[in-house]
Each structure stands twice: as structure tokens, then as C-alpha cells.
Structure 1
């Protein structure tokens, strides 16, 4: 569909022919032009990607804190 659009076929014709919503086609066109990919992870903004990485790092640190608390309790009993 992107190739059809880029070869000159109108948005209206593509939407009608393939029974799409105009917003879906627009999103696909924008994603393809931005990154050449239709995968959501390839089309994230840098801020969104950073937020995901920070949340992942936060979870890891929370797990490490829990492990250290457990170790402290065990060591305190001895």
C-alpha cells in the first residue's frame, strides 16, 4: 500500500480499494517515511524509548534492593 502511494496512487483510492481508515494509512506512511519500518518499537520517539529504558532499569534496581534487604535479614539472624 505504501508502494502504491509512493508510485502516485491517491490516498482516497487506496483507502477505498483496501477498505482502510485514512488514519491507519496515514500512520503507516508516516512510520515508513520516519524509520522505514512498521514495527512500533522502531517508531518510538527518543523520549518514549528513554522512558521505557528507565522503567526497566528502575525495576532492576528495585529487585536488587529487595535481594539486599533479604540478605541483611538473614545475616542479622546469625
Structure 2
């Protein structure tokens, strides 16, 4: 990383036309997790929220399938 190799914040901001806050966020992410990827830098709460949303989507899909199966079975029994 250029920052770790001795380039100053101001040099990097000017050279790559960044905002100081974006550079600071990237430096923090890289020093914390070694990655710039958003998924690698999510908080515990964010990861939990994503898991809950995924589970909710799965449950809604299962519910729709069961509703359709109920309708099919009701038609067959008539």
C-alpha cells in the first residue's frame, strides 16, 4: 500500500483525486482486515442483518410454495 510505503495522505489525495475521508476509510479498512472489499469490512450487526434478510427471503419463498401447494391439493380433492 502506498501509504505504508511512505507517501503522505495529502500526496495521495491530490494524486488520485480522493477525498480525505475516503482515503482515511480505506486506510482503516486495510489496517483492520487487510481488505478493501465491503463484505470483509462489515460490522457484526451488518453481517447479522444480512443473514436475517437472507433467511427472511427464504422463509417468504417457502411460505409462497406452501400456499401454492395448498391450492393445488384443494383443487385435487374436489
Same fold (TM over 0.5): yes
With the length of structure 1 as denominator, give the TM-score of the two structures.
Answer: 0.86
1:1-78 correspondence runs (5 A): 3-77=1-75, 78=77
Q: Deviations over 1:25-77 (max 9, x none)?
A: 11110110111000000000010011011101101001101111111111112
With the length of structure 2 as denominator, give the TM-score of the two structures.
Answer: 0.86
Higher relative contact order (CA 8 A, sep 6+): 1
> Once superposed, which parts of structure 1, at least 4 consecutive aligned residues long, lie more than 4 Å away?
none
Q: Number of residues paired by the alignment?
A: 76
Please report the RMSD computed on the Cα atoms of aligned residues, expressed in angstroms.
1.2
In structure 1, list runs of 5 or more residues that go unmatched. none
Deviation at 1:16, TM superposition (A): 2.0
